[in-house]
Amino acid sequence: MIPYSRQSIEQCDIDAVVETLKGDFLTGGERVEAFEAALASYLGVQHVCVMNSATSALHVAYQIIGLKEEDEIITTPLTFAATSNTALQCGATPVFCDIKFDGNMNEKKVEALITPNTKAVVPMDFGGNPVEIDALRALCDAHHLFLIEDASHALGSEINGQKVGQKADMSIFSFHAIKPITTFEGGAIATNNTEFYEKAKLLRSHGIVKKTLWNSDMVLLGENYRLSDVACALGLSQLKRLDSFIEKRNAIAHAYDVAFAHTPYFTPIGIDNSKKSSHHLYPILLAKNLWCSKEEIFQALHVKGVGVQVHYKPIYQFSYYKERFGELYLPNTEDFYRAELSIPCHQGMSIEEAQYVIQSLLEVCESIKGCHR
Ligand SMILES: *Cc1c(COP(=O)(O)O)cnc(C)c1O
C-alpha cells in the first residue's frame, strides 16, 4: 500500500537517536534547547517551546491566553479534533466558521461570528496551504483577539516569502510520525512574545521553578508535556532534511498538477503563486456526480494499493459535539467533506509510484461513471 503520508527515517536519524540513547540525558538535556533554537532559526521567530505533542502545545497556548468558561474561540470545523478539543478542556466553547474550497477557514466570515465572549481566532493551514494570515492578523488586532495558528500541517510552508509561524501570537506545529517532520510524537509553540514563551516553558513542566539547591517553587498549575532528548535528537536530524522532504513532495505534487489539469473527475486544490505549501497533503475534490460513489472509489483505490484518506469529517458532526452544542450545518464544509480525498504525497515516494497513483485514480473514476439516481 502506498500510504497518503509516511515518515522517512534514514541512517543519520537512527545514528542521532542511538547516540543520545547512549548519552547521559534521555530527557532534560541540551538536545531540547538545541532543537528549539534550530526550529526558531528555521522559522524566523524569537522563541520555540517544544512539547510532547501538538495537542499539548494547543492546550498550553489556550492556558497562556487564560481561556476559560464563557470564552469562545472561532475556529475551523475542517481540522483534526485536537484544535477545538483542547479549548473544550479549558471550559471554552468553539464557534465554527465555514471554509473556502481550498479547505481553509473563510477569513471573510470570521468577523460576523465575533461576540463579547470571543477570545481568540484559531485557523489551520489545511494540508500545508497557508491561511490568509495578514487579513486574520488585522481582524484580530482590530477586535483585540488572540490569533493562534494551528500550523500542524505547515512546517516549512511560506506566504509572501515568509515562513508560516511568524504572524500569529502563537503558532502550533506537530511532529507526529507522519507530519512534515517527526519526533515520534511531538509538537511545539512558536512565538515572538517572550512572556508567552516563558509561560509555555513553565506550563510544560508542572509550573515549577528551581530556586537554590533543593528548593523549588510552584507558581502555575502545569502539566508534564516535556519532549525527551531522544525525540529532540531525531527532530534535529529531521529538521536538517525538511527542505529536501518538501522538495520531493513538491515534485510529486507537480506531477499530479500536470496529470490532473484537464480531468473531468476531480479538481486538485491549486496553491496560489504567493504561497509555498509543505504539501503535507495532496487533496483532490471529486466532481459532484461522483460524491455518491466516494466509498466505492475509496475502496477500489485501497484494493489497488493506493492508500487514500479523507480529511476531515467536520468536527461538529462528532456525536460528542452534537450532544453538547446541537446540530450544525456549514454548507461549504459539508460539500468539501463529500468531495475530498487525500492521495499519497510524501518524501518516500518515487515518481513511478506517483504515476501509478495517477493511473489508478483515473481508471477508478472512469469505471465508476458517477451517479445515475
Ligand atoms: C496532527 C494534528 C494535531 C495534533 O497533533 P499531535 O502532535 O498528534 O497532537 C492538531 N491539529 C492538526 C490540524 C493536526 O493535523
Residue 190 and residue 71 share a domain: yes
Q: Which three cell numbers stand for residue 88?
A: 473544550
Residue 248 and residue 116 share a domain: no
Give me the active site residues, please.
179
Atom of ligand 1 nearest to the CA of 179: 1
Residue 187 and residue 155 share a domain: yes
pLDDT in tens, 277-288: 999 999 999 999
- Specify the residue with its C-alpha closest to ligand 1, atom 5: 54
pLDDT in tens, 138-179: 999 999 999 999 999 999 999 999 999 999 999 999 999 999
Q: Which helix (H) or strand (E) holds 133?
A: helix 133-142
Sheet of 158-159: strand order equals: 162-163, 158-159, 275-276
Of 51, 58, 75, 80, best ligand 1 pocket probe by most atoms within 8 Å of the beta carbon: 80
In the reported structure, the alpha carbon of residue 54 is separated from the centroid of ligand 1 by a whole-number distance in angstroms of 5
In the reported structure, the alpha carbon of residue 370 is separated from the centroid of ligand 1 by a whole-number distance in angstroms of 34
CATH number, domain of 335, equals 3.90.1150.10
pLDDT in tens, 221-254: 999 999 999 999 999 999 999 999 999 999 999 9
CATH number, domain of 175, equals 3.40.640.10
Residue 83 belongs to domain spanning: 2-239
Do residues 75 and 84 lie in contact, with contact meaning Cβ atoms separated by under 8 Å? yes
Cα–Cα distance, 170 to 191 (Å, whole number): 5
In the reported structure, the alpha carbon of residue 213 is separated from the centroid of ligand 1 by a whole-number distance in angstroms of 38
Among candidate residues 239, 261, 289, the one where a domain is terminated: 239
Alpha helices in 44-101 (DSSP H): 54-64, 82-89
Residue 146 and residue 209 share a domain: yes
Residue 15 and residue 161 share a domain: yes
Residue 99 and residue 34 share a domain: yes
Per the domain annotation, does 96 fall within a domain?
yes
Per the domain annotation, does 373 fall within a domain?
no
In the predicted model, what is the mean pLDDT of the chain? Answer: 97
Residue 68 and residue 22 share a domain: yes
Residue 257 and residue 155 share a domain: no
Residue 303 and residue 176 share a domain: no
Residue 305 and residue 233 share a domain: no
Q: Which residues, 6+ apart, have CB-to-CB distance to 161 below 8 Å?
A: none
- Of the pLDDT bands very low, low, confident and very high (cuts 50, 70, 90), residue 369 is confident
Residue 145 and residue 57 share a domain: yes
Residues with CB under 6 A from ligand 1: 53-55, 79-80, 82-83, 124, 150, 152-153, 174, 176, 187
